[in-house]
C-alpha cells in the first residue's frame, strides 16, 4: 500500500482568483491519492469594504462553505500548500496573520519536516508574483520545512514560466483562471504529493 499523505491547501482570496486556484490544487492533490483539507484564512477587511466591491462580495458568498483554517490543520498535514494574492510584492495580511499565530507550534518543532509549497496571483504581469512566493518561502525556512517548488520539471512549466509556484495574472478578478494555470496547478500538486509520500516513507523506514 502506498504511504498515506495529508495535504492542507490554505489560502486567502478576495475576488476569487486564488480560491479557484486553491480548489484546483486541492482536487489535483486528491486525485494524486492524498487526503486533502481545503481551508481559507479569516477575513480581516471590514464588511462594508467587501460589500462595496462586487467581485469581493460575490467571492465571500461563494466560498462561505469553506472552513476557516486553524492550527490543527497544520498539525494534521504532512504537506501544506499556501496560496495568497500579491500585496505589494508580498503575501496578504490575512494569510500573514494566520502564519503569525503559529509561533507556539514553531517553538515546539511541530511545523518542521513537513513539505511546503505556494501559489499566487497578481493584477498585472509583473505584479510581484516571484517576490511574493520568495517572501512566503522565507517563512518555510524558519519552520524547518522542506520546500517543494515545481521548478522546470515538466514541459508545461516552460509555458507558464514560473518555477517558484503556480501563478496567474487575474486583473481585478476579471481574468479567469485558464488552462495554462490549471495545468501548472496540476504539476505542482502532483509533485508535492509525490515527494511528501517519498519523504514520509523514508522517515518511517529510519525510525
In a domain? residue 175: yes
In a domain? residue 26: yes
Show the domain range for 146.
6-206
The predicted model gives 123-135 an average pLDDT of: 96
In a domain? residue 144: yes
**Domain count for the chain:** 1
Q: Which residues contact 42 (CB under 8 A, 6 or more apart)?
A: 68, 69, 94, 97, 98
In a domain? residue 122: yes
Tens of pLDDT, residues 38-65? 999 999 999 999 999 999 999 999 999 9
In a domain? residue 33: yes
In a domain? residue 145: yes
In a domain? residue 1: no
pTM: 0.97
**Residue 89 — pLDDT band, cuts 50, 70, 90?**
very high
**pLDDT for res 98:** 98
The predicted model gives 164-168 an average pLDDT of: 97
Whole-number percent of the chain with pLDDT over 70: 100
Strand partners for 116: 80, 147
Q: Which residues contact 31 (CB under 8 A, 6 or more apart)?
A: none
Q: What's the rounded Cα separation, in Å, for the pair 186 and 41?
A: 22
Tens of pLDDT, residues 109-122? 999 999 999 999 99
Q: Is the pLDDT of residue 171 over 90?
A: no
The predicted model gives 129-137 an average pLDDT of: 98
CATH of the domain at 40: 3.40.50.360
Amino acid at each position: 500500500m502506498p504511504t498515506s499523505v495529508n495535504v492542507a491547501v490554505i489560502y486567502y482570496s478576495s475576488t476569487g482568483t486564488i480560491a479557484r486556484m486553491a480548489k484546483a490544487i486541492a482536487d489535483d492533490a486528491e486525485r494524486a491519492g492524498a487526503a486533502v483539507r481545503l481551508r481559507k484564512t479569516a477575513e480581516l477587511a471590514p464588511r462594508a469594504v467587501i460589500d462595496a466591491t462586487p467581485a469581493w462580495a460575490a467571492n465571500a458568498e461563494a466560498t462561505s462553505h469553506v472552513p476557516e483554517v486553524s492550527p490543527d490543520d497544520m498539525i494534521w498535514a504532512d504537506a501544506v500548500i499556501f496560496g495568497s494574492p500579491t500585496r505589494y510584492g508580498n503575501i496578504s495580511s490575512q494569510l500573514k496573520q494566520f502564519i503569525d499565530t503559529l509561533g507556539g507550534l514553531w517553538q515546539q518543532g511541530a511545523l518542521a519536516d513537513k513539505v511546503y509549497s505556494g501559489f499566487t496571483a497578481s493584477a498585472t504581469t509583473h505584479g510581484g508574483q516571484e517576490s511574493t512566493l520568495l517572501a512566503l518561502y522565507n517563512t518555510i525556512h524558519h519552520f524547518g520545512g522542506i520546500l517543494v517548488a515545481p521548478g522546470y520539471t515538466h514541459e508545461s512549466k516552460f509555458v507558464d514560466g514560473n518555477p517558484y509556484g503556480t501563478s496567474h495574472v487575474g486583473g481585478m478578478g476579471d481574468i479567469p483562471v485558464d488552462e495554462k494555470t490549471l495545468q501548472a496547478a496540476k504539476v505542482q500538486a502532483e509533485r508535492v504529493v509525490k515527494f511528501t509520500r517519498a519523504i514520509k516513507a523514508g522517515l518511517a523506514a529510519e525510525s
